Structure 1
């Protein structure tokens, strides 16, 4: 070091004259500390478009320079959607107000907009929303008409059942229990009247019975309000006589007396496996076991007891046909064709 300082004595003089500690010019990384200590004013750097190398200048001179690109601009905001109005006979109109609120009253911050009355609306403007695919709609209507003509207006058995009988499928939220614990309760309520199933869940000692009880009450309300099930005794005229009790035999051989055909019963009940949650079991010595508690859901299919009557009648008719087929007859019970008064050989 002494030799290098003697050869280049000016370095020590320059370092001592500097007010800030010395930092090497050529460093691997340009740290922000050196940038903060620099006090000399730097000349303003030209913009990136003007900072071009000599090779780029020569290339632009012979081949022509590239035009500066424009900055991308933001897209224009979407136009504000216009709000419609309701007709005077609409069930959704507010009964308390005689005139519907204007756009300015509904949105005081927005600008007032002119709303077209219902009578002056143009159907072509509403077509993209009301009828987005007119050709597909026409094909579907033609298909339905052709199907009705081919069947001569007759409905299939499934269509007849859907038109005359009602059903409601209600799914529950996820219960914090396992499939093994919920399946016995689902088997217990399957096939029973909805009121009998609710009564059984009220006196059940199972922990999950409380959740099942709340779900059955909710399912009963949905079936009554949304699908109009179980209202035969309410909608029936008081002058009409009460329906006669009818005894049917279920698939499992159990006999049931049906006094009200519109009563609700649980046709099917099954369990749905849900997601697994995370929980922790704190043990001794600071150890923690990760638990995966399962979640399970319950689905019930509610029907009216008139469905039990129809199914019992169909089973009885099928058994009668089978008994008739097993009867012995001397000649086959079918029509004879090709009768001729002469022998054919």
Structure 2
């Protein structure tokens, strides 16, 4: 059995274990001599005694430091954790809906302490320095002041009046939701977008549930997510929640959409899909293996679908605006309405 070490290294390492006083009593090959022509290799990490145990590390405490020297004392004291160096716990903003009730000034009533309930001032929250957070929340303070000044001047010039767009944004709700990329082409997803546009949200979800197309399942999943986002973020579709008296319920209203289709609507807060469109995404590459070792690249398309959800009150307003515009329109006449002139009793021939 041969070792993988070279002969010279093996011979040099073997001479380091031979005591110098008894070099003459050993009969080794001619390569091994007792002269110190080759330095001995020191194995500092090698332990000749396999049964030797390592000394356990002593934990540095205040009692153990007293047993050390002056230099060791200074080094050990620097490694000890400081008494006031505890990490500061973070906290949520006072406007967060997940803010917990923090213990504050308690009032004693009957010997029981009651914590303070309510929003905590921003300056009293531990671990939040407004000057440090201003770099992210207000990176351009001068530009923000100029913009606020401009908005105040605009409001004063308009004497506090709102235009039509501002009134609609303040009184009506809408929600835009864009889906993640779906593994389908625009050619396959566009007919589904046209199918659900203009329909009530519940009816559109039923259409996608029983559709035979594969991409309809992804569209249905996105409609469910968009509905949940609109309810939680915008409060849409909650008009009929909490009604107890039947007389308070709104009567059914006949609403006509822009395509001329009429529907009976009982709840004006019911959501419908006002717009739906598709957008082309990035392509994914794949190989198309052909005969004789040939291959071509396949570009697999990805597409996203976006929907705009609104309430039936918006569709009712649009219907009233169309009717008012129709009534204001002048009556069409085929010929100009001018008075007849140069009339004679007899023909002029």
Normalised by the length of structure 2, the TM-score is 0.58
Q: Which runs of 5+ in 2 are unaligned?
A: 1-86, 105-122, 339-349
Kindly report the root-mean-square deviation, in angstroms, between the aligned alpha carbons of the 2 structures.
Answer: 3.3
Q: Cα distance 1:283–1:253, how it changes in 2: closer, same or farther (>3 A)?
A: same
Choose from 239, 246, 249 the match for 2:256.
249
Choose from 159, 163, 177 the match for 2:166.
159
Write the distance in 2 (CA, Å) between the matches of 1:86 and 1:174. 33
Match of 2:280 in 1: 273
Write the distance in 2 (CA, Å) between the matches of 1:270 and 1:89. 36
Match of 2:147 in 1: 140
Write the distance in 2 (CA, Å) between the matches of 1:86 and 1:215. 31
Count of residue pairs the alignment pairs up: 232
Counterparts of residues 136-285 of structure 1 (less than 5 Å): 136-236=143-243, 238=245, 241-285=248-292
1:126 Cα deviation from its structure 2 partner: 6.4
1:248 Cα deviation from its structure 2 partner: 2.5
Determine if contact 1:85/1:117 at 8 Å carries over to the other structure: no
Write the distance in 2 (CA, Å) between the matches of 1:218 and 1:118. 35
Determine if contact 2:91/2:127 at 8 Å carries over to the other structure: no
Q: Cα distance 1:259–1:128, how it changes in 2: closer, same or farther (>3 A)?
A: same
Write the distance in 1 (CA, Å) between the matches of 2:184 and 2:96. 46
Normalised by the length of structure 1, the TM-score is 0.59
Match of 1:302 in 2: 309
3-state SS in 2 of match to 1:248: strand
3-state SS in 2 of match to 1:192: coil
Write the distance in 1 (CA, Å) between the matches of 2:169 and 2:182. 31
1:169 Cα deviation from its structure 2 partner: 0.5
3-state SS in 2 of match to 1:247: strand
3-state SS in 1 of match to 2:240: helix
Q: Cα distance 1:291–1:120, how it changes in 2: closer, same or farther (>3 A)?
A: closer
1:223 Cα deviation from its structure 2 partner: 0.9
Counterparts of residues 11-90 of structure 1 (less than 5 Å): none
1:287 Cα deviation from its structure 2 partner: 2.5
Determine if contact 2:181/2:281 at 8 Å carries over to the other structure: yes
Q: Cα distance 1:212–1:125, how it changes in 2: closer, same or farther (>3 A)?
A: closer
Q: Cα distance 1:145–1:324, how it changes in 2: closer, same or farther (>3 A)?
A: farther
Q: Which runs of 5+ in 1 are unaligned?
A: 1-80, 100-115, 331-345
Q: In the alignment, does 2:293 pair up with 1:286?
A: yes
1:319 Cα deviation from its structure 2 partner: 1.1
